[in-house]
Structure 1
């Protein structure tokens, strides 16, 4: 049993941590343990509990129990090496039995008044200077003010856009033009670029966001397969159910449906950009922490609205600074160019609301990551995605039986994309032994639609099993990074593109190996982007196993996708239902998508596009096409067992 610290901080408006220390009883015989009880009032009660837990963690396991209610954080909770469980003990931050604590980075918005009766637009006061890209109403994200335009309404120039459709000439008369953004949904990228000013028919865009969004691959100027173009974030764009925030005036506007009002609704305006930061150092990582039964809610991420924009490259990696470009980049660098390759190793990652780096033996179980303005949980990402400034280095991380929903970015992102992620300069940087099991990841990547539900990049032994991943614009589960360019011997493709003028050809393997993707239920993917796959691998992944997954409802796209440089991956006993292409290898004479095996999989529709024979030597063996709708018993077993298991593991 646990020994309570005399209900230390009980109801936690009653005492300070310093006073509570005097109430700690001597250790009793038997199973040691301390319980600290926290309630959602009393100012900095969580910080007091954190300080107290530090003093006890060397003596026994410590449980910090949070009573039900909303804890409105004025700053993120930060855990470093001092917050570790010591001497083999664990500090667990958890919900009290039967209760639902919410760690919120938001502010409740009340006091709504009718602003424009003819349009049913309401207004409420918020603190001046408060900014957010998200708003949550009655437990769901509400869209920002936006209109869809045709790509033929505008012409792309080196400095912005020229208005071609006279119906858009009113844009020059709008206030706060530098808060307007262009969103371009392409084949696999989802790009945001902010406006600088509008004069007549000339829209000048902020830099470097504009240039960065218009070179490389699948650009705003030349998407591979068209896609939706939107103008966002102006009062003039308000449509029913949408909102607009004026930070300078401290006013929040909402256009309600006829006869309705936001008054009386739970309206949450995010104020924080992260909630929980778990990060030590490589010499002294955070150890032995657990988080159970908590809800993490109401954050935003503001960088896409700045001059940086969101120059998306793939699955949450983006360009975050200016780079030398050819003068004719709008023509010479729409399918890559050598100068673009010079930027490749500087891509940034979208940060997470809950961040874990330089950490060992950390677990998340039974939590909810909902209504968040970026990635839900980031594990061992690059340093640029961690507020601590320390990236990578996550080991022994367990993510079990959590729910990720209504988040702007991916549910979970593990690993980094920069050189220290794949060839670490310090072995302690390696992100390894991460288990992601029995989680529900649904309806995430709502704003940054290019992101997968779960992404694991350069990780040694990631185990992703028995998850349900659904309702996504892009992919379900993505594994790997680098397009084979960082694997031993490099890639002829990237020799041709000029990458190796800016980085070495590595002779040793990357940290990516021994990935397990098993018994996952993946459905409702590819709602916006046709490129990619429901389950996807990128680059060499020795020892990787992708088996017994059930994929359906992927909008007639690719089920199992082995992208450039994929090697040594075994895919077996998967069920792929109603796909356009059930298995695909992106193999060419200049890449190394080789030596993979696809055996004993079942599918009922779709082409087989796998490069077998020399030089790729991918193997297809024993795969069965079901033509009569009668799945064999072994396939039915996979369909039944895939997804969240009833009892967990």
Structure 2
């Protein structure tokens, strides 16, 4: 018999604890066991506050929230106080029952399918080779090599080829289906690739660039996920044919004392069409994304977009000299936490980590805010906003994202109206820091990006493309940002590209980039103003700005100390307003 706290019931407060009971009344004294049960109770009450107590709350299926869940807040117990508890919603499964063989750990995992693994909270990389062994030629169905090493692969159908730099901004993934051949000189080992992915790759990746014409994906730059590749401590391979997980431990790790978690769910939370919902102080962790493992592979083109069939278009980069083929339409890497068609939803003080796709996706809706959150250890982007209006992305610390899908930007906007990205810090990412595609009224203000463009090329700390409204009043403003250390060759720290129009770029600081900015792009810029910016080198085209660009009052200061002194005020206002642990 449970004692019911009448005051808590009347206030619509519901509690969840990892040692709770779903048959309990959900009070502080007798909490529920699952967040699903608490959501059900709040729904029946017409809204309320769900308090999650400390610990890891494992989801066995996505938490689906709808319009009926409007008016509910989900928060860590004690949120906003010195006694706030650490809460994680996890879509993972702890791996146990390890046995040791030849210095490796093996576990029988049944029908487990995942692309990531975390060991004591640390990301374990998939076991890999740096290149396909032997002298390799391309065939209609895959590859032929004179090396017999692929005949020793334990589970060829689990092997995946990575193609980095198909275009400077592109990285694709295609699976192997079979390896056939016999040992012997001149016999040749045939590697068959997944279809339709391989055929589609030949249709998609074609270009003439800097005098070189290429067709198809070429040779892989990395070969992943086979037990025979396990040579580096801290790496793993999943053998689905034998239902076995292999892990090569690091020094000091012991099966009985080391916690190993495999992400299982692809979506943790999906909120549709609800209003007035908040997620406060929660952790979201341990999700995967299995689409790249399917026969369609992951045919990346740009940013968060990938090709899944359909029309292909040829785009001229330089008339008569350079062109590329691109998807007529693209799919977008999904998010593990999704807000779809929602209104007046707050995501505040949360952490998104150990996720196999994008962390948080906002699609449609209005009046959404993402404030004071941490995003790290993500396979794709941190935040994706599409087709929403009046969205605020503020004071978020984003780092070490795009770990599996290197084209993924830290923050991505497309089709938005009056979206403001302000006071964020984006660091240590493989491509762009902040990206804005077509939109209206976009504001990218006082952000700090450091260590962007670490893997792929042709991007920037902040990248914006396509028309941004129909006038200066409805256009985009990029102002007060500090962009440092844009790493790879062939990048532009602050990059307005591909027909950007109605954009004002003012009082930004760009330093230590391959190129600070570029004014001459294709299609050309229209009604773009560069005013009062500070650089350590002149932007390309600034000596003779094209007709669509106004370039005035900008300063180039090559000396780093002098530049820092001249821009101290801008630097002081850029980036996070809160302290974070680096």
Question: Do the structures match in fold with TM over 0.5?
Answer: yes
1:352 corresponds to 2:357: no
Instruction: Go from structure 1 to structure 2 and tell me whether the alpha carbon gap of 1:14 and 1:260 turns closer, same or farther (over 3 Å shift).
Output: closer
3-state secondary structure, aligned to 1:363? strand
State the alpha-carbon separation in 2 of the partners of residues 73 and 442 from structure 1: 25
State the alpha-carbon separation in 2 of the partners of residues 49 and 292 from structure 1: 16
State the alpha-carbon separation in 2 of the partners of residues 222 and 36 from structure 1: 64
Given that 1:439 and 1:468 are in contact with CA atoms closer than 8 Å, whether structure 2 keeps it comes out as: yes
Given that 1:476 and 1:535 are in contact with CA atoms closer than 8 Å, whether structure 2 keeps it comes out as: yes
3-state secondary structure, aligned to 1:637? helix
C-alpha deviation, 1:11, in angstroms: 4.8
3-state secondary structure, aligned to 1:298? strand
Instruction: Go from structure 1 to structure 2 and tell me whether the alpha carbon gap of 1:569 and 1:607 turns closer, same or farther (over 3 Å shift).
Output: closer
Aligned partner of 2:25 in structure 1 is 20
User: Which of the numbers 148, 151, 155 marks the counterpart of 2:137?
Assistant: 155
3-state secondary structure, aligned to 1:20? coil
Aligned partner of 1:584 in structure 2 is 518
State the alpha-carbon separation in 1 of the partners of residues 574 and 140 from structure 2: 49
3-state secondary structure, aligned to 2:453? coil
Number of positions where the alignment pairs a residue of Structure 1 with one of Structure 2: 539
3-state secondary structure, aligned to 1:404? strand
1:549 corresponds to 2:481: yes
C-alpha deviation, 1:627, in angstroms: 2.6
Aligned partner of 2:249 in structure 1 is 256
State the alpha-carbon separation in 1 of the partners of residues 462 and 16 from structure 2: 47
State the alpha-carbon separation in 2 of the partners of residues 525 and 162 from structure 1: 37
State the alpha-carbon separation in 2 of the partners of residues 169 and 228 from structure 1: 17
Given that 2:441 and 2:468 are in contact with CA atoms closer than 8 Å, whether structure 1 keeps it comes out as: yes
3-state secondary structure, aligned to 1:561? strand
3-state secondary structure, aligned to 2:518? strand
State the alpha-carbon separation in 2 of the partners of residues 300 and 136 from structure 1: 11
Aligned partner of 2:104 in structure 1 is 121
Given that 1:53 and 1:83 are in contact with CA atoms closer than 8 Å, whether structure 2 keeps it comes out as: yes
C-alpha deviation, 1:586, in angstroms: 5.1
Instruction: Go from structure 1 to structure 2 and tell me whether the alpha carbon gap of 1:440 and 1:151 turns closer, same or farther (over 3 Å shift).
Output: farther
C-alpha deviation, 1:324, in angstroms: 8.8
3-state secondary structure, aligned to 1:587? coil
State the alpha-carbon separation in 2 of the partners of residues 109 and 553 from structure 1: 39
C-alpha deviation, 1:323, in angstroms: 6.4
Aligned partner of 2:35 in structure 1 is 46
Given that 1:38 and 1:46 are in contact with CA atoms closer than 8 Å, whether structure 2 keeps it comes out as: no
Given that 1:37 and 1:66 are in contact with CA atoms closer than 8 Å, whether structure 2 keeps it comes out as: no
Aligned partner of 1:229 in structure 2 is 221
3-state secondary structure, aligned to 2:412? strand
Aligned partner of 1:130 in structure 2 is 112
> 1:550-629 counterparts in 2 under 5 A?
550-555=482-487, 557-585=491-519, 587-588=521-522, 591-605=523-537, 607-610=539-542, 616-629=547-560
C-alpha deviation, 1:460, in angstroms: 0.8
Aligned partner of 1:189 in structure 2 is 170
Q: Deviation per CA, 1:355-398, whole angstroms, max 9, x where unpaired?
A: 11111111100000000011000110xxxxxxxxxxxx221110
1:5 corresponds to 2:6: no
1:471 corresponds to 2:428: yes
Given that 2:535 and 2:557 are in contact with CA atoms closer than 8 Å, whether structure 1 keeps it comes out as: yes
State the alpha-carbon separation in 2 of the partners of residues 144 and 587 from structure 1: 38
3-state secondary structure, aligned to 1:213? helix
1:112 corresponds to 2:98: yes
State the alpha-carbon separation in 2 of the partners of residues 142 and 195 from structure 1: 22
1:402 corresponds to 2:380: no
Aligned partner of 1:330 in structure 2 is none
**152-161 vs 190-199, which deviates more?**
152-161
State the alpha-carbon separation in 1 of the partners of residues 552 and 434 from structure 2: 24
3-state secondary structure, aligned to 1:640? helix
> 1:204-603 counterparts in 2 under 5 A?
204-217=192-205, 222=214, 229-240=221-232, 241-257=234-250, 260-279=253-272, 285-321=273-309, 335-336=323-324, 343-345=327-329, 347-380=330-363, 393-415=364-386, 430-481=387-438, 512-542=439-469, 543-555=475-487, 557-585=491-519, 587-588=521-522, 591-603=523-535
State the alpha-carbon separation in 2 of the partners of residues 395 and 149 from structure 1: 47
Query: Which structure has the highest strand share of the two?
Result: 2
State the alpha-carbon separation in 1 of the partners of residues 427 and 579 from structure 2: 21
C-alpha deviation, 1:152, in angstroms: 8.7
C-alpha deviation, 1:232, in angstroms: 0.8
Moved over 6 A (4+): 35-38, 223-228, 322-326
State the alpha-carbon separation in 1 of the partners of residues 162 and 22 from structure 2: 49
3-state secondary structure, aligned to 1:123? strand
Aligned partner of 2:88 in structure 1 is 102
Unpaired runs of 5+ residues, structure 1, are 22-34, 86-90, 280-284, 327-333, 381-392, 416-429, 482-511
Given that 2:65 and 2:271 are in contact with CA atoms closer than 8 Å, whether structure 1 keeps it comes out as: yes
Instruction: Go from structure 1 to structure 2 and tell me whether the alpha carbon gap of 1:8 and 1:366 turns closer, same or farther (over 3 Å shift).
Output: closer
Aligned partner of 1:139 in structure 2 is 121
Instruction: Go from structure 1 to structure 2 and tell me whether the alpha carbon gap of 1:606 and 1:50 turns closer, same or farther (over 3 Å shift).
Output: same
Give the alignment's TM-score, normalised by structure 2.
0.86
Given that 1:316 and 1:451 are in contact with CA atoms closer than 8 Å, whether structure 2 keeps it comes out as: yes
Aligned partner of 2:50 in structure 1 is 64
Instruction: Go from structure 1 to structure 2 and tell me whether the alpha carbon gap of 1:155 and 1:640 turns closer, same or farther (over 3 Å shift).
Output: farther
Given that 1:611 and 1:617 are in contact with CA atoms closer than 8 Å, whether structure 2 keeps it comes out as: no
State the alpha-carbon separation in 2 of the partners of residues 585 and 245 from structure 1: 48
Given that 2:154 and 2:228 are in contact with CA atoms closer than 8 Å, whether structure 1 keeps it comes out as: no
Query: Which structure has the highest helix share of the two?
Result: 1
State the alpha-carbon separation in 2 of the partners of residues 625 and 223 from structure 1: 41
